[in-house]
Amino acid sequence: MAASDELSVVFAALADPTRRAILSRLRQGPTTVGELAEPFSMSRPAISQHLRVLQNAGLIERTTSAQWRTCTLRTEPLNDASVWIDHHRGLWNERFDLLDERLRELKERSSDG
């Protein structure tokens, strides 16, 4: 999969507030699926679907040991997304700075005239 396609999958996974809440919970460490599901008023199949999306995006790893299914946060895709955002933030900031400069020039010309 191309890097931009991987980013699309990561950003799509992050677009949902439930999935972001799951990732926030996993920052504290590996957690069972049952513990992840507790704060949400949705069915286990719905939680499983969210976990599948996160796993497909590479944001979590799911393991099974006996009857326990555990999820662990994987930060690599988040790092890749952060690099992309930081790069583009720099470009956007440059453009806004140029726009500010241009607007100042136009304002000065209109005050002088």
Q: Is the pLDDT of residue 111 over 90?
A: no
Q: Which residues of 20-37 are buried (b: 16+ CB within 10 A; e: fewer)?
A: eebbebbeeeebebeebb
Q: Give residue-wise pLDDT tens across range 47-105.
A: 999 999 999 999 999 998 888 889 999 999 999 899 999 988 888 888 888 998 999 98
Q: Give residue-wise pLDDT tens across range 8-47.
A: 999 999 999 999 999 999 999 999 999 999 999 999 899 9
Integer-rounded Cα Rg, in Å, for the chain is: 21
pLDDT grade, residue 112 (50/70/90)?
Answer: confident
Distance in angstroms between the alpha carbons of the first and the last residue of the chain: 57
Tokens of 1: 């999969």
All domains of the chain, ordered by start, with CATH? Answer: 3-112 (1.10.10.10)
